Structure 1
Amino acid sequence: MNTRTLGRLWRNGVALLLAAVFLFPVYWMFSTSFKSNSQVLTRDPVFFFTPTFEHYSTATGVELFWTYVTNSVLVTLGAVLLALVVALAASFALARMRFRGRRGMVLAVMMAQMAPWEVLIIVVYLNARDLSMLNSLGTLVLVYFVMALPFTIWTLRGFIAAVPRELEEAALIDGCDRFQAFRRVIFPLLAPGLMATSLFGFIMAWNEYAMVLVLNKAPDAATLPLWLTQFQTNFGNDWGATMAASSLFTVPVLIVFLILQRRVTGGLAAGAVKG
């Protein structure tokens, strides 16, 4: 066995070990959701069992469950679409146009991306309260849109900068105006970047808990992250229902990621190094 083969085996072994370490909690979450209460609350781990769906019935039987689902879908899609529309215009300006303060704007976008949004919860709450915007899905859409915008601008800027100017100039010579050249030439080449940024915004808005906990306390304005906390009571935690709810909450993200996996990986890499 030569050195190259040994090196490959060593790297593959480490990769498999890390994959097992990261995937085991996910496996345990899904498996626990199918166990009975006696199998969940035991000292010895149970690996072989007869599946039961009672915990899923408990999780989906919560009052206003479908309201939570609808709110999460509306808020997530609204924030992602709004961020994409604004970021496309902003990233095109940063990549193609030369204006005073351009470098400062790029630096501001980077700083906004690095800032922890949790430190702004009090400020956001006070502004929403003073403007009578508490318990509103529109407020969550605006907040999540602002949170996703810096990353979206930064990534799409790299993709637009990577498109040769000659393609756009050729479209202008052929009779297209600036908007038509963008729509017909540049926009089709941005698919990997759009998918990468959309997935990032989707995961961020879908999983966000702190903002919705503070801004939307009304049950009919809550989202799924608050639904996950309803199985913890003063009498104890219903771990089976919690794991079932967590599994249902995770499935949409897994499906979207598996569908977009290849384009997302390439999009993040290309958008990070180009431009």
Structure 2
Amino acid sequence: MTARPRRAVSRVFLNTAAIVVIVASLFPVYWMLNTSLLPASAVRTTTPHWWPDEFTLSNYQEALGDESLITALLNSLSVTGITLVVALAFAFLGAIAVSRYRFRTRTAFIIAILVIQMIPIEAMIISLFRLLDGWYLLNTIIGLSMVYIAVVLPFTIWTLRGFVNGVPVDLEEAAMIDGCSRNGAFWRITFPLLAPGLIATGVFAFIQAWNEFLLALVIMTRPESKTLPIWLQSFVQATKATDWAVVMAASTIMAVPVIVFFLIVQHRMTSGLVSGAVKG
């Protein structure tokens, strides 16, 4: 087999594998949407409905009509927003310090970041609960935000460190030779090139804070302080059969802000990733 047919076979195989991965990734989303548009009687049958042949919007009406939806939505937006801004700010400073400066405890700091990520969050729930209780921060937006920041910060620093390392120091030095100060060279040259990294890590922090369930369940125990994942869990009750059609409708509603956030930032992320540092 010559090189050209071999490349053609390889291309077909890779394209087929890519299609399989895409279908496997999108099918759960499609099934969630499909189930949310079916009545409960159709969902409970043993015969699967591959498309919404008994189309209904009653599930969305029931989910949107829940009185606690707005409160849970505002709580989730507040916690996620605080987590996103504070985590990116601290992670940005930490990544710059680790990548651009040499100090005595630099290696120990990098190792600590990796070790912290290995600790399961379930092992720290009791300690976090007692700590927040002692600070009178249970059932507060600030208390839950502090925990989320601590959870997402190590991975955010590690991810941003890779982006900072990818920007050559020579660019800053060239700008300083042209008359920029160190701070001016950083903010005018390096920072715009780090925008894709900030957006990528911001997407990760947003999704993790938005979807987190276990910590919110333990820390936010009052009905008026629950977030959207806890609100979603309220549709699953032990005293009666779960209405999975309504659960899927509520899950779809919960996913909308994440999709909107990604659509807003994805253009900046992709354009920044393909832009060059200098013009030819």
TM-score by length of 1: 0.89
Give yes or no for contact 2:195–2:269 (8 Å, CA) kept in 1: no
Unaligned stretches of 5+ residues in structure 1: 269-275
**Number of the residue aligned with 1:15:** 18
Give CA deviations for 1:217-263 in whole Å, capped at 9, x if unaligned. 11111100001111122111011110001111122223434554577
1:166/1:2 CA distance change after superposition, 3 Å: closer
Give yes or no for contact 1:90–1:153 (8 Å, CA) kept in 2: yes
Q: Kindly provide the amino acid, as one letter, of the partner of residue 21 in structure 1.
A: A
Q: Kindly provide the amino acid, as one letter, of the partner of residue 102 in structure 1.
A: R
1:89 and 1:242 map into 2 onto residues whose CA distance is 41
TM-fit CA distance, 1:139: 0.8
Matches within 5 A, 1:208-247: 208-233=212-237, 234-247=239-252
The alignment status of 1:103 with 2:107, answered yes or no, reads yes
1:90 and 1:14 map into 2 onto residues whose CA distance is 38
1:116/1:158 CA distance change after superposition, 3 Å: same
Q: Kindly provide the amino acid, as one letter, of the partner of residue 204 in structure 2.
A: F
Give CA deviations for 1:13-63 in whole Å, capped at 9, x if unaligned. 233223323322221110010111221121111234142111011111112
1:17/1:174 CA distance change after superposition, 3 Å: closer
2:100 and 2:25 map into 1 onto residues whose CA distance is 41
3-state secondary structure, aligned to 1:250: helix
**Number of the residue aligned with 1:181:** 185
Give CA deviations for 1:168-203 in whole Å, capped at 9, x if unaligned. 234445554443332222211101100110001001
Pairwise CA RMSD: 2.3
1:212/1:98 CA distance change after superposition, 3 Å: same
Query: For 1:248, which of 245, 253, 260 is the aligned residue?
Result: 253
Give yes or no for contact 1:196–1:267 (8 Å, CA) kept in 2: no
The alignment status of 1:78 with 2:75, answered yes or no, reads no
Give yes or no for contact 2:163–2:194 (8 Å, CA) kept in 1: yes
**Number of the residue aligned with 1:272:** none
More displaced 10-residue stretch of structure 1: 8-17 or 164-173: 164-173
TM-fit CA distance, 1:146: 1.0
**Number of the residue aligned with 1:24:** 27
TM-fit CA distance, 1:64: 1.9
3-state secondary structure, aligned to 1:199: helix
TM-fit CA distance, 1:113: 2.5
How many residue pairs get matched? Answer: 268
Identity fraction in percent: 44
TM-score by length of 2: 0.87
**Number of the residue aligned with 2:45:** 42
**Number of the residue aligned with 1:200:** 204
Query: For 2:127, which of 115, 120, 123 is the aligned residue?
Result: 123
1:88/1:21 CA distance change after superposition, 3 Å: closer
2:100 and 2:15 map into 1 onto residues whose CA distance is 43
Give yes or no for contact 1:80–1:148 (8 Å, CA) kept in 2: no
Give CA deviations for 1:105-160 in whole Å, capped at 9, x if unaligned. 11111222232222111110111112211001001111111111111111222222
More displaced 10-residue stretch of structure 1: 187-196 or 176-185: 176-185
Give yes or no for contact 1:195–1:267 (8 Å, CA) kept in 2: no
3-state secondary structure, aligned to 2:103: coil
Query: For 1:168, which of 156, 172, 176 is the aligned residue?
Result: 172
1:260 and 1:74 map into 2 onto residues whose CA distance is 19
Unaligned stretches of 5+ residues in structure 2: 274-280
1:259/1:144 CA distance change after superposition, 3 Å: same
**Number of the residue aligned with 1:271:** none
1:5/1:37 CA distance change after superposition, 3 Å: same
2:25 and 2:166 map into 1 onto residues whose CA distance is 35
2:159 and 2:270 map into 1 onto residues whose CA distance is 12
Q: Kindly provide the amino acid, as one letter, of the partner of residue 194 in structure 1.
A: L
Q: Kindly provide the amino acid, as one letter, of the partner of residue 9 in structure 2.
A: L
**Number of the residue aligned with 2:71:** 67
